[in-house]
Structure 1
């Protein structure tokens, strides 16, 4: 068993594709199971941009804090980049690369997503499934 075979064919639906409006980002508080069986929090951001979805770990590479400056507020004032509410670093939505701020040159950790049967799904990991896999209420 290789490290990459954690859950290669498993997809976990976290919300419907249409549950996230285009050009919006939503945070999810999930729980991941590591290879040794331990469970740990796994906060992620899902961005829908037209027919595309992008996923990132909700952690700023500058100081390891969540990006949202208010619950589910991830985008800059123009709605064109992800932004860290703590220090103002901004990230390209399509790549996660930091283009401005203290972590310029580094990037967000990508999360593998797929759209299957109208649902946005997380792939390539083992999630602890429970009723907590819902978007944050705001």
Structure 2
């Protein structure tokens, strides 16, 4: 029975290393968006905004029978493609596709005001090239 104990312990330790805890995900979130505190926003606010942005895109593109947003718009808010604007709005830029398609063909940009929870699509159309970055 003793030879099984080290194997069992190794399995338990390996599982905890392979699967990050919620605290680790929150650490990634805090590193990615140090400005959240500046606007008194939390991960819950970003998650709510993410869901509202995705739902607006679903409505604009014909509902779930005709449109699916990329996976990052369904998962943890820390993984969502967003940025904070200078005035504290949360801007999401994400892709979508028809359920039967394997490639994304629609780009949607949505602004969410976390003070009023109003949402506005600023772009919804063909995927555009990535903007050039200034270094």
- TM-score, normalised on structure 1? 0.26
Structure with bigger RCO (C-alpha 8 Å, 6+ apart): 1
- TM-score, normalised on structure 2? 0.27
Q: Which has the higher strand share?
A: 1
